[in-house]
């Protein structure tokens, strides 16, 4: 009886160790030109490229390295419904345990799609590169980086727990919710842009934004070479640095608790209403005149004409104003 038990146990352990080493899938599938690609993966490097093709090309490669103890069988299911296409991992139970110094998984997902489609993506520990997709993009990921380039007119909605975001040559509307990670944007034209974060820095360069909403707890906000119509900044800990061009209808509202505010502004002249707690307000007499000055508040007006409005509320930090054609 003991020998039989040991034999069965050894067979079971061998089954656990005999893992599925390589999974490969290369297929094409139909999708409507304005359909939605639904993608659900875990721990993959994902690349999605918008093209002039009318179908979807899928290339998935997954290789397990080292000796793996698992009772999970990996598989992908792909199906079409109402003009949309779903690509997702089949549900499986269990967990991986790797043996050896080189244990791990190489997992890549490369997809070519019609550039007019929409994307609905959910991931866990995935990194994403998305290029030349013109439709709406919705992406939720727990842990991973996101790079999106060359979009047009659609809406981008990103919800990340931990990971960096890089956007370049993007247009339309943007909404970002991030718990821990930096947000970098270069070359953008947004009707509405919402950036809400807990911990991370924001760097935005060469952007034209109609309505901007920035809210964060810990991190610096740096905006350069950009045009702003309406902008609201609400931060707790971090500097706010703006090199921005204003218009006659521009309205800038800034609230900071702990951090400096540095405003280097061009374009329309403006009136600035500043309330501060522990800090100083600096400005250039050559470009500003004081309308009112009292304890912990000051009202300034540029000597150049304009109707733009700037309001700053800060508790602990300095406020610095510069105005003129060369500050950008």
pLDDT at 16 over 60: no
Residue 67 lies in a domain: yes
pLDDT band, residue 95 (cuts 50/70/90): low
Query: For the chain, how many structural domains are there in total?
Result: 1
45-77 tens-digit pLDDT? 999 999 999 999 999 999 988 666 665 688 999
Mean pLDDT value of segment 38-43: 96
Mean pLDDT value of segment 25-31: 98
Distance CA 15, CA 296 (A): 73
Residue 288 lies in a domain: no
pLDDT band, residue 165 (cuts 50/70/90): very high
pLDDT at 91 over 90: no
Residue 217 lies in a domain: no
Distance CA 220, CA 223 (A): 10
Residue 105: what pLDDT? 86
Distance CA 148, CA 280 (A): 40
pLDDT at 14 over 90: no
Contact by Cβ (8 Å): 319, 274: yes
**Which residues constitute the domain of residue 37?**
19-135
Residue 97: what pLDDT? 55
Residue 101 lies in a domain: yes
Contact by Cβ (8 Å): 99, 66: yes
Residue 312 lies in a domain: no
pTM over 0.95: no
pLDDT at 40 over 70: yes
Residue 42 lies in a domain: yes
Residue 243 lies in a domain: no
Residue 104 lies in a domain: yes
């Amino acid at each position: 009886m003991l020998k039989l038990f040991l034999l069965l146990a050894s067979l079971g352990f061998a089954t656990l160790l005999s893992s599925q080493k390589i999974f490969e899938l290369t297929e094409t599938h139909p999708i409507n030109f304005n359909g939605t690609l639904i993608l659900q993966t875990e721990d993959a490097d994902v690349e999605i490229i918008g093209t002039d093709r009318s179908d979807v090309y899928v290339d998935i490669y997954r290789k397990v390295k080292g000796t793996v103890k698992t009772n999970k069988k990996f598989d992908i299911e792909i199906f079409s419904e109402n003009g949309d296409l779903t690509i997702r991992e089949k549900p499986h139970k269990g967990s991986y345990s790797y043996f050896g110094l080189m244990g791990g998984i190489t997992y890549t997902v490369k997809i070519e799609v019609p550039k007019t489609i929409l994307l609905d993506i959910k991931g866990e520990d995935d990194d994403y590169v998305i290029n030349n997709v013109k439709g709406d993009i919705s992406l939720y990921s727990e842990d991973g980086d996101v790079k999106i380039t060359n979009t047009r007119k659609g809406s981008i909605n990103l919800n990340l727990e931990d990971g960096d975001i890089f956007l370049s040559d993007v247009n339309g509307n943007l909404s970002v919710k991030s718990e821990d990670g930096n947000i970098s944007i270069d070359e953008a034209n947004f009707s509405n842009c919402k950036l809400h974060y807990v911990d991370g820095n924001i760097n935005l360069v060469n952007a034209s934004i109609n309505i901007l909403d920035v809210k964060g707890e810990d991190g610096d906000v740096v905006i350069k070479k950009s045009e702003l119509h309406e902008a609201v900044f609400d931060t707790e800990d971090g500097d706010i640095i703006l090199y921005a061009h204003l218009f006659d209808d521009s309205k800038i509202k800034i609230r900071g608790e702990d951090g400096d505010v540095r405003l280097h502004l061009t374009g329309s002249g403006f009136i600035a209403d500043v309330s501060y707690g522990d800090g100083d307000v600096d400005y250039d007499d050559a470009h500003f005149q004081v309308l009112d000055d009292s304890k912990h508040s000051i009202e300034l007006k540029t000597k150049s004409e304009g109707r733009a409005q700037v309001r700053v509320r800060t508790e602990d930090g300095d406020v610095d104003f510069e105005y003129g054609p060369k500050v950008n």
